[in-house]
Amino acid sequence: DQQVKQNSPSLSVQEGRISILNCDYTNSMFDYFLWYKKYPAEGPTFLISISSIKDKNEDGRFTVFLNKSAKHLSLHIVPSQPGDSAVYFCAAIGNSGAGSYQLTFGKGTKLSVIP
């Protein structure tokens, strides 16, 4: 069973517009969430994170929103640039024990930003 779900395998957005990537989770023990970005033939690169005590975290063009009651988070990229084209993974970490350092990843969403 997939504890972190990214239901959109791909997304195409025009350059300059907003990209919204969505992620849902089922495990209520998750309390820290991350987004990683991956280019082909490279490892995932950390992008932005959010703790469950917050509902928003912003870093430049990237903002992550967390709706804890809905077990849903989203990544907004504004404005989108062609260099943002990559696979984006949502990941979560639990609040205790073994789950507190294992990253649990979704399947990823491939973002294509069209010039």
Between 12 and 102, whose beta carbon lies closer to other proteins?
102
Smallest gap from Cβ 104 to other proteins, in A, equals: 7
Smallest gap from Cβ 85 to other proteins, in A, equals: 18
Between 43 and 115, whose beta carbon lies closer to other proteins?
43
Q: How far apart are CA 56 and CA 36, in angstroms?
A: 17
Smallest gap from Cβ 2 to other proteins, in A, equals: 9
Identify the three-state secondary structure at position 84: helix
Complete edge-to-edge strand list for the sheet that includes strand 62-67 = 4-5, 19-25, 72-77, 62-67, 56-59
- Cα 11 from chain centroid (whole Å): 13
Between 2 and 14, whose beta carbon lies closer to other proteins?
2
Between 22 and 79, whose beta carbon lies closer to other proteins?
22
Q: Are 65 and 76 in contact (CB under 8 A)?
A: yes
Q: Which residues bind other proteins (CB under 8 A)?
A: 4, 32, 36, 41-46, 49, 89, 91, 93-94, 98, 100-108
